[in-house]
Amino acid sequence: MSKTSSMGRGVEALLAVGARHADGLPGGTVADVAADLGRDRSQVSRSLRTAEQEGFLARTLKRSYALDWQVFTDAQLLTERRLESDGGTVLDALAAETGEACFLGVLRGDSTVTIGESVPSGSNLVGSWLGRPYPAYCSDAGQAVLWEAPEAEVRSVFSKVEFIRHGPNTPAGVDEFLARRQAARERGYSIVDEEAEPGLYSLAVPVRDFKGEVVAALQIVGIKERLEPRREPCAAALVAQGQWLESRLGYRG
């Protein structure tokens, strides 16, 4: 889209206001946005007024323009719908490629909850995990859903949690969880090796939305003796499918 067109200038002004929000600023005046863009104030003023009339921006009492919260609400609803629809597509494709059970999980308090799954008949996993919570400190999705959370936030999430041993390698406390998360970040995906239960092995990656925030984890879960020897090709498939899902949610990387 050409920035010399009226539509192009309008989108440019709208994105400039959004960039100010991303920098922690409460929107901006016509003068602020014009300075950010290096454009004529009268031209920017027309673009901002049009965006306000279309419902993308709101005018404050201090003559500043800010993103209308309805935009965020609509975008959030779209993210949730795409997690369901495109998430299902990704799960089926990943399960078909790896032959293992694949899941989408989200963080709810100090637990992870499965919101999507694709379980091939030959995966040796029985039953559904849909809607079932599991302690985030040892779940297959735990490290991934907290991938970018500051250390203080992670400690807050687990502040009232007793680290009960569910498998031979369950982390003993939050420090061990953080160390494993750091190793996962360096690797590019998490490995949960008999933390949730004996003999269970899983790989996971974070899934980010249009705001760059982690909204879910994409997982491959299987029997350790079968999945661990195939870790690298399965991880490569997992990363690729995770990136595709992120692109569908508007994440630009």
Question: CATH number for the domain including 207?
Answer: 3.30.450.40
Spell out the residues 6+ positions from residue 90 whose beta carbon is closer than 8 angstroms to its own.
102, 104, 218, 241, 242, 244, 245
pLDDT digits (tens, 9 = 90+) for 184-228: 999 999 999 999 999 999 999 999 987 788 999 999 999 999 999
What number is the average pLDDT over the span 38-59?
A: 84
- Global pTM? 0.73
What number is the average pLDDT over the span 65-94?
A: 76
The model's confidence at residue 62, banded by pLDDT at 50, 70 and 90, is: confident
Report yes or no on 253 lying in a domain.
Answer: no
Expressed as residue numbers, the domain containing 241 is 76-248
Instruction: For residues 24 and 87, state if they share a domain.
Output: no
Q: Is the pLDDT of residue 101 over 50?
A: yes
Are 172 and 211 in contact, with CB atoms under 8 Å apart? no
Are 137 and 166 in contact, with CB atoms under 8 Å apart? no
Percent of the chain with pLDDT over 70: 91
More confident residue, 116 or 253: 116
Instruction: For residues 96 and 22, state if they share a domain.
Output: no
Q: Is the pLDDT of residue 241 over 80?
A: yes
pLDDT digits (tens, 9 = 90+) for 105-120: 999 999 999 999 999 9
pLDDT at 2 (0 to 100): 39
Question: CATH number for the domain including 60?
Answer: 1.10.10.10
pLDDT at 57 (0 to 100): 81
Number of structural domains the chain divides into: 2
Spell out the residues 6+ positions from residue 114 whose beta carbon is closer than 8 angstroms to its own.
103, 104, 105, 129, 130, 131, 132, 141
pLDDT at 49 (0 to 100): 87
Q: Is the pLDDT of residue 8 over 50?
A: yes
The model's confidence at residue 72, banded by pLDDT at 50, 70 and 90, is: low
